[in-house]
Structure 1
Amino acid sequence: MCTQLRQPHGTGSIPDTVSIQAHLKRHVTILATTIGERNLYREDNMKMVVDYIRHELQTMGYTPVFQPVSVPRKTSFGSAAGKTAYNIEVRKPGTTPNAPWLIIGAHYDTRAGMETWNSHGPVIPAKTGTPGANDNGSGVATVLELARIFRHLPTQHGIIFVLYANEEAPFFQTDAMGSRVHARSIAKNPGKEHIMGMFTPETLGCYSPRVNKKRASAVVAGLAGLPDRCDYVAFMSTNTGKDFSRSCSEIFTSECRFPVRAVSFPYYTKAVAWSDDWSYMKEGIPSFAVTDTAFLRCDDYHETSDRAEKLDYREFAEVVDGLARMTARLLNPESTAF
């Protein structure tokens, strides 16, 4: 467990893991059970998840900004061609003028029905997609919980919280990917020199040992130093984000006893790519994914069995608690309160 973190220059503190766990479970249950599959091929559900995220952020006192993400009129996008999705962003300014910002973002869309769990397309309209509890209801819940925690905590650096559309195939690594649109806009304004880095919570809810057949197809896992056991969280990056990721993992370790492994690859390709951190890497912004390792650990990945009751919420809450403490250290580098 992590020790209680207090802020001497403000009125808040990071809450205990019991309350964090309750908030995470509520978010994931609403996303994966009440709403379910959410993508541009299920437009009613897509509207529901956007309304839910907006309501949650407004309740915290934020004013969400909606960034359009346009899908080109290409046959490869099927019935989503020509449609528009939205990224949802809020910002909490820091107390130090001109201090670099930290970006924390996760995608809220889920996998549409395709031939197999690892297909890149095409979408099969008659086939049910995933309800997306772990991928990526857990990531959305993490961003919302961190936004709630830091709403009233004073920080020297500012935070940009963002929820992305269109991370899943067939949009992944295309111009219709929500984080790609956001990263390009950030590189222009405020400019990458004003960003300390970015991390994305991506599939964070699996920590119980369970049968896993999918891992056998991912030989790279063992070569990268990601063991088969489920008792750790991974910080995954490329060379662009390697230093930032390792620095963050050291802070995480100093603040929380939950095991973390920092792994970097020379460059992300279609075969070796994780999530929305790829978009920022492309703009030269240090970035990494925080993950339970998804298909390397969990057979529910990209399946209709990715349901809310499958997640391990106690461990999930410990990880988010550690991320909150890590983030507090990043945003208050001159503080000695931790």
Structure 2
Amino acid sequence: MRLSRRYSAFLLFLLPTFCYAAAQADTIQIKNHLTTITKTPKPRNYQNVDQLNQTANYLISVFSQYTPSVSVQEYTVDGQVYKNVIASFGMEHTKRIIVGAHYDVCGNQEGADDNATGVVGLLELARLLKGQQLNHRIDLVAYTLEEPPYFRTEHMGSYVHAKSLAETKADVFGMVSLEMIGYFKEEKKSQTYPVGILSWFYGNRGNYITLVNKFGAGAFAKSFSREFKASNQIKTKKFTGPPALPGIDFSDHLNYWQFGYSALMLTDTSFYRNKNYHEPTDTLETLDLPKMALVLDGVYQALRQL
């Protein structure tokens, strides 16, 4: 059947949209990765270094399926060696974007939302980024030692990484932290805030993902937030406030702020919504994997557009 010239042009116009749809995050892959990372003999906390190393080895094996540029950044704390795992894409570019998430947990728990969702997000982004033409170098970085007792210390994996970028004068466009991206609720009053009046503006249902920025966050944070929202993948709200507001700097992006980089956090708002936070009940079964996949679709499309 012959197609009219106008109809053919219309199909060509739609083709890029179809290509994006074909590259959506895969909930089966996500579930498999989450199962491997959370259902382990021991919790992946700072005291179980062998378990942390097993997790790091798993990350290395998965990343290596999608890029030959996988490296390990080792550092020593109290006589123990800990590891950041880095997968790089678009190595032909100088200016880079960091997408980071921590793989350790607080205490004796699976840490499914906090923060297996973030690090599995890195694994799925690696699959989506494989072979793509990019405008920047993208480093996917899985950190260790984000949780207490090392939070807000120079032993955090993200501090070690951010410091290394500053010391080598790397050309960094900015950083986004994936911190708890898998817990969603439609029920009323399922969402709380550090200041009660915020519910008037943001609602009391925990059914959205949040772009958390500080005042004066910089060009990258603004650009990423704009492109993520423009992807229109999932209900999204942007929150901008002072760093002193409780929760706004509760993840790895805080260390990039310390070194002057533009950075933000993508989150389901952590303990303001998920009452399983730092509890044994933070399990895979509590997560909304389809919505988590939509979050990752948004991240992927934003990275492609920047």
| Fold shared, TM-score > 0.5 on shorter chain | yes
- What letter corresponds to residue 259 of structure 1 in structure 2? K
2:256 alignment partner, SS class: helix
Q: Which residue of 1 aligns with 2:175?
A: 198
Q: Which residue of 2 aligns with 1:274?
A: 250
Q: Which residue of 1 aligns with 2:44?
A: 38
Match of residue 64, structure 1, among 54, 65, 70: 70
What's the Cα RMSD here?
2.7
Q: Which residue of 1 aligns with 2:81?
A: 84
Change (3 A) 1:257 1:105: closer
Change (3 A) 1:243 1:223: farther
Percent pairwise identity: 27
Q: Which residue of 1 aligns with 2:58?
A: 52
Q: Give yes or no for contact 1:244–1:286 (8 Å, CA) kept in 2.
A: yes
Matched, 1:208 2:203: no
Instruction: Report the TM-score, using the length of structure 1 for normalisation.
Output: 0.78
Q: Give yes or no for contact 1:94–1:154 (8 Å, CA) kept in 2.
A: no
C-alpha distance in 1 between matches for 2:187 and 2:39: 22
Q: Which moved more, 1:53-62 or 1:134-143?
A: 53-62
After TM superposition, the structure 1 = structure 2 runs for residues 213-228 of structure 1, keeping only pairs within 5 Å, are: 215=192, 218-219=194-195, 222=198, 226-228=202-204
Q: Which moved more, 1:245-254 or 1:37-46?
A: 245-254
- What letter corresponds to residue 235 of structure 1 in structure 2? L
Report the alpha carbon displacement of residue 269 of structure 1 after superposing the two structures with TM: 7.1
Matched, 1:326 2:299: no
Report the alpha carbon displacement of residue 311 of structure 1 after superposing the two structures with TM: 0.6
**Count of paired positions:** 293
C-alpha distance in 2 between matches for 1:5 and 1:229: 36
2:82 alignment partner, SS class: strand
C-alpha distance in 2 between matches for 1:298 and 1:211: 14
C-alpha distance in 1 between matches for 2:282 and 2:189: 14
Gap runs ≥5 in structure 1: 72-80, 113-128, 331-338
Q: Give yes or no for contact 2:69–2:89 (8 Å, CA) kept in 1.
A: no
Q: Give yes or no for contact 1:179–1:279 (8 Å, CA) kept in 2.
A: yes
Change (3 A) 1:5 1:241: farther
Q: Give yes or no for contact 1:212–1:298 (8 Å, CA) kept in 2.
A: no
Match of residue 238, structure 1, among 214, 226, 232: 214
Report the alpha carbon displacement of residue 61 of structure 1 after superposing the two structures with TM: 3.2
Match of residue 129, structure 2, among 143, 150, 171: 150
1:109 alignment partner, SS class: coil
1:186 alignment partner, SS class: helix
